[in-house]
Each structure stands twice: as C-alpha cells, then as structure tokens.
A and B are shown apart, each in its own frame.
Chain A
C-alpha cells in the first residue's frame, strides 16, 4: 500500500440553491477542486462520486458518467464510479478512491460528493432520507431519522443523565462556527433558548437540533504521495481511511448509547495511523442531530462513554477548546447535502491542516479526524488526515 495525499479540494456554497441543478453543482465543485490542485484534465485517471439518492431527489442516476460529462472528461474514457452509503456516501467514495491510489492502480483520482435535495417538498425529502433506514422494518412503520435519533437521545439521557440543554449547546456551538464559514447554509448564531423554543420534531429533538435539507457538492483530488509534490507544496496525508458496516436497523444493534460502527472504524483508523484520540487536534463529526455529536465524541474515544454531554458543557469542543469539533459549522449549520457531506468534512480539515481556515483556523492543527455516518449507524467512515 502506498501513501496517499490530498492535493486539492473545492466546495460549492451550501444552501437552498434554487438556480443550480445537480449537474451544475457537480461541475462547480469539480472545477474548483481541479483548479485548487493545479492539475490538468489529462492527469485524472479515475473519478469517484458519492451520492445518496439523486434518483429520487431529482430523477438522475448514473452519477459517474454524469460527473465525467459535466467535467468535460468523457472523451478521456476514464473509469467513473458512483458510491452510495446514504449520508456516508461522500466519505465512502473517498475510501474507494484512496484504495485505488494506495493499491498502485491509479496515481491521480478526483473524488466528489453531491446532493440536490430541495427540488422536493420537505415531507418527500424526509421519506427519501428514510430509505437509509430499513424500509420494511423501520420506515414502513413510520420511523424517520429524527425519530430514530430521538430514541437514541432519550436512551442517552436516561442512561447517562445527558440534559436537554447539553444537546442545545451543540447547536449553539456549531451555529457560531457556521457564522465564520462563508460556505455555510445558516450563518447565524442561535441561543440555547432558541433551540429549546424551536418547533418540536421528535421529542426530545427540536427543529434546531436537526441538520437542514441542503443542496451542495464538494470534490477533492488525491494522488500518490510520491507524486503529490508535482502539484502542491502543501499535501495533506491520508493517514487512515477506514469504514465498517453494521445493521441498517437500529433495533438490531448491540447498543443504543452510541454507534458501534463508528467505535470500531475509529479504533481501526487510530491503529492504522499509529495515533491515539488524544493526538487529534481538530475533528469534523457527523452531527446530523445534536445527540449524534455527543455520541460521536464518545464513540471516537475523545471522552469516556456517557461524558459527551458534560464535555460539551465544559467547552472541550468549542473553537478555542482543547479539541475543536465541527469548525465548519458541522452538518447543523453548514448544511447537510447528504452525498456531499463526507467530502465537505474532508475539505474543512484540508483547510485546517493547510492553515487556510481563516477566522475559524485552529492553531497548530496537524492531525485531524472526520467521522461520517450513514443512516442511524449502518455505515461509518473514519478518515485521519495529517499535515505534511
């Protein structure tokens, strides 16, 4: 296995992008990534694109070929692969691109992620997203993602005394970080009172505990480490790319106070990278709901199980805390175009590790971790990135 480097990346603004189609978003992110990496179209040997449900959101499948066409690369006849693992599609696409480069098969690969979610009404979007759960045994009986995460939140609160206010503080922190991110969908601060006073979605989760419905796309360029310096002075090393699957149904899991797939994948990633949780300087975690961030910092070993809520209370994860989490604003404030989210997390850490995160820059960030979850925990993808 060869070392693999991130050599560039690009992101569209995230939000309700009424004027842009899925293809527009893919092209915009892809071009931005290629320009950032300083590569030519002819350098690209393969494309991977993550997308959850373009078929149902906009009636478009076959995203690999679509990406090749809108990037102007179809004449090169390179392989183009669409990867799907619900909300973890973007990271899983990167995992596949990483394997392709690490194996020696390709030297330079572009990996994107995209989702255009606002062409359907909110209720339809909720239904489409529910396809990331077990349709027969969860969705058909009325379970939606807010409902499934609300069950986990209730259990966490019951077992560890996690409070409603601690959940709200996650949203407060991430919205503050979002104000510093020009690409974020919601660049406004919220207070604990705002969160607690917002519309109830699935008890105990209110509207402001939930990530929004978002259009957006991102892309990164990776290459073998030995060729990275041909293109950039500031490559970021992919120190680990690990993914594991678990049951798609929440009810089939071994535990409900966290996401077992994320626990296992992160342990493997730490081993692969030869680091420990304490070595991580900055992390982007999958805060699709506020409870998910609290469980994530526990699952990743940053704090003991059950201590996530009080860690948020103590300011561990704020921008000037010991371990800043979701400096981008997270899914909560930056937005959650499901197929693009994993790539957007990688893009944020690339900026952090290159020292280009502007007003949300974490001092001396050298080692970062991304945590991307599909469904209620049926897939987890962990990447550890290292500044070179």
Chain B
C-alpha cells in the first residue's frame, strides 16, 4: 500500500493478500470467465438462460450493459432479458434474488446472476489495502438443483457510508461510519430476521457466509450473532483474496458449495453500502454429490506476486 504500515494494517484488517486484475481484465472478462465455468459445470444449455444479470460497481461502461456482452459470450442471446445491477458490494446477491423471483414467477426456467468487480481505491486510502478483483456466477433454476434457496430477504436503509459519484475515479467513504451503523447494523438485522422467519438459530447451520470487506468484520459479526469460527472459515476468503466487492458474498458461498455435502444448511448474508443486506437460507441437495466442484481454493493457490509499481500498472493507474 502506498505509504502505509502494511504489516500493522494486515493484522488489523485480517487481510494478508489480495487479488489484482490481469492487465486485460475487467468486470466483463471476469464475469464471462465465471459464466463460462458455471455453464460448463452445471451442464445446462446456455440457450435456456432466460435472464442474465451482472451486479458490479465497476461496470466498464457507464451506459452499455456488461450483461449483454456476457450473454453474447456464453451464447445465451437473444431470447433473454439482461441488465446490469449496482448496489455497492451487494449487487451480485440482488441479481440472485431477481433471478430467483423470475423463476418462482414462472417467467423463466433458469437465470444467471453474476457478482463481479475490479474495485477502485485511491492510492493511500484505507480502501486500497483490501480492494481486489474477482467474481462468481450462479445459475438459479427449478430443476437439477445442487442447493435449494429456502428463503431470501433484505434489509435496506438510506445510509451513506460509501459512495462514488458519476465521473469520479475513486469511491469516498465515511471512515468508521462504515462499521457499526452501516455493515454491522444491516448484516445483523437481515441475518436475525432470517433466523426469526425461519425459526432457526445459528446451530441449525453448517456454514455461514457474511460479506467480507476485510477479515475482521465478518469474523466479528459472526461472533456477535452466535456463529462459530468453524461455521464461517470455509466461506471466508477475504484474508487471501481481498475484498471483491460484488463478488465477495457470491465467492464465499461458492467456496462453501465446493465442500458442502447433501443436507448441509447454509446461511449467507451480503452487504452493500448505501446500504442494504440480502440474506439467504440454503439447503444443499443430494445432487451435489455427483457435481464437479468449482474448487476456488485450488484456484487461489495459482498466484504470483506483484511489486507496487507493477500493481499500479495492473490497476490501470498508468498505461
């Protein structure tokens, strides 16, 4: 990090490594890569996808959808609806909720929801330490489910903790205001309400995933809500991949699905600044047993380190 005490911040935030986009990578290419994997692993016909939504706060175009490029790349066009979503770090889970709604309304047989980002951070800003790149794609449908969404709900308020205005290169944020009244309030409220509505307690879940802007926040919110370290560690990727923003909760959920067994129950709660949380109660089905897993942790082993100068080039700070 530019002029920062890296070791101290790493320990404080529980972020030890982070991902950096490749020189030619952006939210679109990450989305395409995730979408292709999802189609291949699920074995669906891309033409069956009736809706494709990409949630991100770093869409390469202000006007022109990322979703159409992805749909074209995976040959899902032209008989589908597509759109880009933005809700800070929870645009990916918002996309999942909407695909689910269309499926349940019988408007489509399956839809694809993607959360992906190459998140921005000003050099020297606290955000720079964790702002990373990554994404995940989910196919939500009716048949051959590897996991069933039992319930989803959201908790939303107007809370200005983090923002980026049109034309600005980097986001601004409210410092410590991003904690208690923002992340913790929303994640806690959505998760508690989910357990209330489902009549569950933390013991009922085998795994829990909370949005991970750093390692500290999800660990603390889990402890506060009564979840154990064991329940969250499978889905806690941030300490080694950083904050992938819209990709964060989807990637955590994906990492859990890499190891989950039939009958396992998962609670996942995202968080997006501005602010809101989407919570999901999920049960893994028998179909997971024969399913070829994505294996995110293996992907994480395949890495190389950059110095700060090269890092800046990868971030597009200079050509």
In the assembled complex, the CB of B12 is this many whole angstroms from the nearest CB of chain A, namely 8
Q: Are A121 and B174 in touch, CB under 8 angstroms?
A: yes
CA distance A18 to B181 in the complex (A): 7
Q: Is A19 in contact with chain B by the CB < 8 A criterion?
A: yes
CA distance A122 to B174 in the complex (A): 9
Give which listed residue, B8, B175, B176, contacts A199 with CB less than 8 A.
B8
Number of interface residues of A (CB under 8 A): 8
Residues of B within 8 A of A122 (CB): 175-176
Q: Are A18 and B5 in touch, CB under 8 angstroms?
A: no
Complex interface residues of chain B between 175 and 225 (CB less than 8 A to chain A): 175-177, 180-181
Known: A121-B174, A122-B175. A16 touches B8 (CB 8 A): no
> Interface code A105-136, partner B: CB below 8 Å = 1, 0 otherwise?
00000000000001001100000000000000
Complex interface residues of chain B between 1 and 50 (CB less than 8 A to chain A): 5, 8, 12
CA distance A118 to B181 in the complex (A): 12
Q: Are B175 and A121 in touch, CB under 8 angstroms?
A: yes
In the assembled complex, the CB of A121 is this many whole angstroms from the nearest CB of chain B, namely 5
Q: Are B176 and A16 in touch, CB under 8 angstroms?
A: yes
Interface size class of B (residues with CB under 8 A): under 10
Q: Are B181 and A19 in touch, CB under 8 angstroms?
A: yes
Residues of B within 8 A of A18 (CB): 177, 180-181
CA distance A118 to B176 in the complex (A): 9
CA distance A18 to B5 in the complex (A): 29
Tell me the nearest residue of chain A to B176, going by C-beta: A16
Residues of B within 8 A of A121 (CB): 174-175
CA distance A200 to B7 in the complex (A): 13
CA distance A16 to B181 in the complex (A): 10
CA distance A18 to B8 in the complex (A): 27
Q: In the complex, which of the residues A16, A18, A122 has the most CB atoms of chain B within 10 Å of its own CB atom?
A: A18
Q: Are B180 and A16 in touch, CB under 8 angstroms?
A: yes
> Interface code A185-223, partner B: CB below 8 Å = 1, 0 otherwise?
000000000000001100000000000000000000000
CA distance A122 to B175 in the complex (A): 7
Tell me the nearest residue of chain A to B12, going by C-beta: A199
In the assembled complex, the CB of A142 is this many whole angstroms from the nearest CB of chain B, namely 15
Residues of A within 8 A of B175 (CB): 121-122
Residues of A within 8 A of B12 (CB): 199
Residues of A within 8 A of B5 (CB): 199-200
Tell me the nearest residue of chain B to A197, going by C-beta: B8
Residues of B within 8 A of A199 (CB): 5, 8, 12
CA distance A19 to B159 in the complex (A): 11
Tell me the nearest residue of chain B to A200, going by C-beta: B5
CA distance A197 to B176 in the complex (A): 21
In the assembled complex, the CB of A159 is this many whole angstroms from the nearest CB of chain B, namely 30
CA distance A199 to B181 in the complex (A): 24
Extra inter-chain contacts (14) besides given A18-B180, A122-B175, CB under 8 Å? A16-B176, A16-B180, A18-B177, A18-B181, A19-B181, A118-B176, A118-B177, A121-B174, A121-B175, A122-B176, A199-B5, A199-B8, A199-B12, A200-B5
Can you identify 16 A-B contacts, CB atoms within 8 angstroms?
A16-B176, A16-B180, A18-B177, A18-B180, A18-B181, A19-B181, A118-B176, A118-B177, A121-B174, A121-B175, A122-B175, A122-B176, A199-B5, A199-B8, A199-B12, A200-B5
Q: Give B contacts to A, CB under 8 Å.
A: 5, 8, 12, 174-177, 180-181
Sorted nearest first, the 7 A-B pairs with minimum C-beta distance are: A18-B181, A121-B175, A122-B175, A199-B8, A16-B176, A18-B177, A16-B180
